[in-house]
Copies of this chain bind each other. A is one copy, B any other.
Amino acid sequence: MTELIQSKAEGVSEPQISDIKGYVRGLGESARLAASSLSVASSAKKNEALIAIANAIELNADGLLQANAMDMKRATTHSLDAALLDRLELNAQRIKSMADGLRSVAAQDDPVGSLSATTQRPSGLQIAKMRVPLGVIGVIYESRPNVTADAAALCIKSGNVVILRGGSEAVESNRAIADCIRQGLQAAQLPSAAVQWVQTTDREAVGELLKLDDCIDVIIPRGGKGLVKRISEQARVPVIKHLDGICHVFIDESADRPRAIDVALNAKTYRYGICGSMETLLIHKAEAALSLPELVHEFDAKGVELRGCEQCLQICSSMLPATQTDWDTEYLGPILSVRIVDDMEAAMAHIARHGSGHTDAIVTENMSRGRRFVRQVDSASVMVNAATCFADGAEYGLGAEIGISTNRMHVRGPVGALGLTCEKYVVTGDYTTRS
């Protein structure tokens, strides 16, 4: 399995694995075995591994860049699009970011082993909850090689074992990063099976991973909607998933106008391709006549196409008309739909109907409406006077993120180490019996 062969079809060099099913099951069983020792590994050892991986990544920066150059060359030959090439590319700055991310995760508190407050029951029992790892996590991702380091960091920190399956575009980069991870685990004397990287780009391997419900406790897909949907449908294990990011900003009548316009501009144009990017702007009707022309002017200057409701067009006839489809579209590009609403209730009704439960914001000076919006809007992140593009694990202080959850159960929003744990009951008595 260590001999690399050059696959002619794809130009990817990888080990020849004849029995994919057996290979993947082997990974799963090694992972399950390693899970019990990882779950009780000391904070010191886990942090030692994280820092050793960070050091290995920085020391092997040249090797990482060479490996990445091979991926980039192959990707360019296959004429993959510019956005994908951008996600795939490693450079000195991105390598430093990966190492910084690992160190920042190491610096955080260990979420595992913490005990909640204890309650005393009439029976004499004392009841508390202890935070414990989920067990074995499978991460299936596309072209970003930094996911390899981020996912490994968060799983090690939270005492979980992880099986990583990266995209075939990034195979050389991922292998080089996986080598650094192996070195770090070894330095801290943690089992190498704590982080395993699927060495084949054969698609069959993904199908097999999704079936391993006796070895894997949760699957986290990271990538386009197609990938996430396919995995959710096929997986026999629970999936922490991220579907749409149709994010809204509602400018209330009481908002401070110039600053509200800044927030709206930033929410859209900080980066078009991120899931926290605003896709629909809602404006209170009392505010629209003054705000909208200015917004149109600013968005025009940035090259953002605006698609407005009928009332918008009455104020700014230069806007394109929005169709019904626009309210349900995640553009991930320089297009924005705009709607004038009668009041906050109408804005919240629009969000409830068309939103994706990802991130939605209100811009307001009115305390009561701000409070009501926060309580009532059912999204993973609800923001007040802040741009939706902040929806991100690093910005929330998680050090890194293994994904953003649009699930309702277990964890919502950016997922860090804490989101990869659960709580068990710890019950203590004095030889207590039940009568």
Contact = CB atoms under 8 A, between A and B. Distances in A.
Chain copies in the assembled complex: 2
Contacts of A386: 125, 427-429, 431-432
A132 B424 CA distance: 21
B40 A428 contact: no
Interface string A416-435: 00000011111111111110
Nearest to A238: B409
A18 interface: no
A427 B352 contact: no
A119 interface: yes
A46 interface: no
A125 B376 CA distance: 20
A260 interface: yes
A193 interface: no
Contacts of A147: none
Nearest to A387: B433
A397 B118 CA distance: 11
Nearest to A127: B396
Given A379-B424, A383-B427, 13 more contacts: A217-B409, A238-B238, A270-B433, A381-B424, A381-B427, A383-B429, A384-B426, A384-B427, A385-B429, A385-B431, A385-B432, A410-B410, A412-B425
Interface of A: 36, 39-40, 113, 119, 121, 123, 125, 127, 130, 132, 134-135, 217-218, 238, 256, 259-260, 262-263, 265-266, 270, 352, 363, 374-376, 378-387, 389-391, 395-397, 407-414, 422-434
